[in-house]
Structure 1
Amino acid sequence: MRFGMFVPQGWRYDLVGIDPAQHWQTMHSLAEHADAPDSVWESMWVYDHFHTTPVPSQTEATHEAWSLMAAFAASTSRVRIGQMCTCMSYRNPAYLAKVAATVDHVSGGRLEMGIGGGWYEQEWRAYGYGFPSIPERLGRLREGVEIMHQAWTTGSATLDGTYYQVDGAIVQPQPVQPGGIPFWIAGGGEKVTLKIAAKYASYTNFTGTPEEFTHRSEVLRAHCENLGTDFEAITRSSNFNTVVGVDEADVARRLAVIEARLTPFLGAEKAATLMAENYHSPNAAVGTPSQVAAKLAERRELGLGYAIHYFPEAAYDRSGLELFAAEVVPALR
């Protein structure tokens, strides 16, 4: 199993209480940690969002994903960098292909392209994007991925689509990586998203119960068979909200600290609901090292090849992240 980690950028109220003037240093320090030669982390990730969640804050920061991609590309040397995931409709896809190709050069060929249809309605409307229907958002995803694929493999893109029209959009230089930047197609939609993944993806990214993960994997396999692509060549990944403690009392203490940090911004009821949804759910990796390793081992048996972990404590306390690296990762390798 391979491992990635999220760097806190404020979106999940994970930089609150830190002076905004120190945000970049906080993020950069964690990037350096992930980038260390002996690090267990193959990749580091941010989210592509503009407003905090689940409540948009008028005062708390959410740092922009692609600005961070360029900064991390220039300030690290080993770890791969990605977004989980870029919202297709937030940027023109030909422009995004150009931006990503440049970042790939700055990084020396270490960029990953996480891409999805988008979902955060309040954010869409606040920025003037409207909020198209699910079929339109997925249609934009399909056309945008085609444009980026053309741009990175041929140096230009032309498409007279329903949602995007480009005519000889030149993207030079092409990415450093042969064949273009790897696509991580995010989402488990069976009819459209997984079909796009079957055609273009090097990686998928979806979560759910073990039963849901298995079902979506079989849907992906069927799409690959219909399209004549190689299901086994696509690595399946999932994101996990992760809290690891030396024992169950330590886990409970860590969860209480996280909830106390969120409560002033969300209120007690909403904070409690968020904790239940994020840390007692199928996409949570919460417990002692042996408990977390057992959960991930179960997913590995179902075909999970890549786990990306969000540590809500990371900006304040690295001990859980370090415990995961020291005890959970070796148990799975």
Structure 2
Amino acid sequence: MIKRLVYSKHSPKERCGVAYFADLLSKYLSAKHVNGFHGFGKCEELFINMDIFELDESEVSSLLKFINSRFVGKKILLMHDYRFTYLEEEMVKNCDLVINLSGEQALKDIANGKMIELFTPSSIEKPQFYLKKGKNRPLSLTFGFFTPRKKSFKLYIEFYENMLKKYPEWYHIIVASTHVGDSIEEKEFITRLLNSRSILVSDFIPNTLLAELISAANLGVFFYPTGIMQNNMGPMAFFSQGKTVITTYGDLTPSSFKLFTINFDDLRKFDLYDLKIIDRLGRNAKSFYQSNLSWEVFIKKMYSHINKFIK
């Protein structure tokens, strides 16, 4: 059996999106998810999940030392973001294949023909209990980091204020994520700003519970300054469960996504009381996800390129 290691700086216990992804990747590859390399022998395939924002220079140096040792076979670098740093260039140069999950086209300029672009499947596993609620209580759900400094923050506030006025029967859950040890100031700020009995603002909840809430929700809410892309983990979690999302479109938004999502700019034309249309969009989203964006499709495409690029 091939010995595989999947690396990320953090473990899922530290509430890190890259770590959630790495943990699921390790399960689908029957690999070991590691946060360091002490005590390991030969590794035939090493998958490095990298966001340079999380790593300092000494950690990158340690990674490079292990990569270039005689103990590592195939070296696959999964770039979750690209910040245009020389440390990233060093990592790219020393790996056999670069998988661009960031959507950043400039990564091509340093990858020297060994880069492929892939999507990010859902990092939230299937629910176990599938929570049920009354049909007369439609529910929207979102999760993520909601600092007022984010460019999309105003869109969220505008959306919820509009919903409270035009769709008072709707309920909303906002899960304001935090890293371990961070304060909950953002959650408290949103609670004061959107002071309504129809809106529940929560801080971090485990992915297992989040999966159950997605199963009960009618609609996901995710806004991005550059528009929704195939590397956005939040919407993928909804698509995988047959749920649509209201979102923003941009130049990099796949045209296929527009067939099963709701454009925030067109919200005034859309009747959110018509849950049948929302359900139909959700079914279309799940069908597309299973055929094009699932973990099974991701692994198949990734190994197709590994076998092509690395001999």
Which TM-score applies when normalising by structure 1?
Answer: 0.35
Which of the two has higher C-alpha Rg?
2
Which TM-score applies when normalising by structure 2?
Answer: 0.37
